Amino acid sequence: MINGNIYLKGYGDASFKSEDLDEMIQDLKASGIKEVTGNVCGDDTYFDKEYYRHEWMENVEYEGELPLISALVLDYNRIKTEVTWRGRKSYREEKILNPPLQIAEIFYKKLIAAGIEVKGKAAEGAIPAGSVLLSEFYSPIMELLRRVNKNSDNFYAETVFKILGAVSTGQQGTAINSYQALYSCLKGLGINMKGSSIVDGSGLSKSNYVTAETLGDLLKAVYLDLDIYEWYYKTLTIAGVDGTLGKRMKGTAGENNFRGKTGTLNGVSSLSGYMQSKRGSDLILVMIFNYSTYNWTYYRKLKDEIVDAAADY
C-alpha cells in the first residue's frame, strides 16, 4: 500500500508512451502495491509552464503547430479517443492542454483498470523531498537526438532544448536557461555566431538565423572531437537509407555515404552534414538556399546533385 500520494514526474522525455506507463504500473503490481490512499499526481516542474512557444517568443512569427512543450509527456501530448457514429467507429486525436493534470487522469484510470485501488483523485503537484522511487522510464539522450536529426522531429527538438537548459543550470528548463547554455557551448567551441541568432529548439521561429559559416564551424568542431563525433554521426539521417533522406540520392555517390540534417521552411531549404569523397577524403557540406522562385523540390534536387558532384573532390 502507498500511504499518501503517488507521483508521475516527467523530465522532458518526449518518447514516453502509454505502453511505457502500463509497464510502470506492472512494476507497481509486482512490488505488491494494491492501494493508494492519496491522490495520483502529475509533476512537470522540471520545465517551466510556458507550454506554448509564443509565450517565450513574444511578437515572433513562427511556422507549424506543435503539441504543448512540457516536462511530463505522454503519447506526444495527444489523446486519441474513440468516436462511434451510426455504428461505425473512428478515432479523434486532440492535444493535451494541461499535461500534468490530464496525464495524471490517464494514470489514475490505468491504475484502477489494473486493479490498484485509489482513494484520492487525479491532481497535479510536485514530488516532495524524501519520496521513494518505485519505477522509472528513460531514453538515452542519443535516442532523443536520433529522432530529432533523422526525422526532423520539431517536438523532440523543443523538449531537448529545454532539457539542455535544465541540465546545464540545475534549475528549471526554461527558454532563457537553454539560450544561455547553448550560446555558452558554442562560444566555448569557438563557433563564429556573427549573423546567426537562435531563439528556439526546433528552428521554426522566423527569428532564427544561421549562416553557412556557423554551421560549418559547428560541424568541424564536432568532427575534431572524436568522442562527440562518434555518437553524433550515428544520429544523422543516411542518404538513401533512413529518415528524411531515406528516399533521396539513391543510385548516386551520396547513397549510404552522406549523413546529415535537412532543414525546410517556407522559402528556405538547407542540408548539412558529412560524407567521403571517392578519394577517401572526409568532407563537410553546408548548403542553405533562401528562395522566392521555383519551389522546394527544385532546391532539394539541386542539393542532391551538389552532394553527388562533391564525391569527385
pLDDT for the residue numbered 205 = 85
- According to the model, what pLDDT value does residue 84 have? 77
Domain limit, last residue, from 124, 151, 166: 124
With contact defined as beta carbons under 8 Å apart, do 252 and 308 qualify?
yes
* Structural domains counted in the chain: 2
Res. 92 pLDDT band, cuts 50 70 90: confident
Inter-axis angle of helices 212-224 and 226-235, to 10 degrees? 120
The answer to whether residue 66 sits within a structural domain is yes
Burial of residue 141 (CB within 10 Å: 0-12, 13-18, 19+) is middle
Residue 67 CA, distance from chain mean position: 11
Measured N-to-C along each axis, helices 99-113 and 18-30 cross at an angle, to the nearest 10 degrees, of 50
pTM of this prediction? 0.92
**What mean pLDDT comes out for the span 65-71?**
93
Is 215 within a domain? no
Asked if residue 43 is part of any domain, the answer here is: yes
Grid cell, residue 63, equals 511556422
What pLDDT is recorded for position 86?
A: 74
Roughly how many angstroms between the first and final C-alpha of the chain, as a whole number? Answer: 68
Q: Which domain range does residue 263 map to?
A: 236-313
User: What long-range pairs does 85-90 form, CB within 8 A, spacing at least 24?
Assistant: none
Using pLDDT thresholds of 50, 70 and 90, give the confidence band for residue 93: confident
Tens of pLDDT, residue by residue over 110-119, are 999 999 999 9
Nearest Cα residue to 56 out of 175, 160, 142, 155 = 175
pLDDT of residue 58: 61
Burial 43-61 (b: 16+ CB within 10 A, else e): bbbbbbbbbebeebbeeee
* Domain boundary residue, one of 124, 152, 176: 124
- Asked if residue 188 is part of any domain, the answer here is no
**Does 94 fall in a domain?**
yes
What single-letter DSSP state applies at residue 266? T
75 domain-assigned: yes
At what angle are helices 154-169 and 141-151 packed, to 10 degrees? 140
Domain final residue, candidates 106, 124, 142? 124
Q: Is residue 138 part of a domain?
A: no
Strands (E), the chain: 6-9, 35-36, 40-43, 78-85, 88-95, 117-118, 122-124, 237-238, 259-265, 268-276, 282-290
Instruction: Give the tens place of pLDDT for each residue, 218-269.
Output: 999 999 999 999 999 999 999 999 999 999 999 999 999 999 999 998 899 9
Task: Evaluate whether residue 222 is within a structural domain.
Answer: no
Asked whether residue 190 carries a pLDDT value surpassing 80, the answer given is: yes
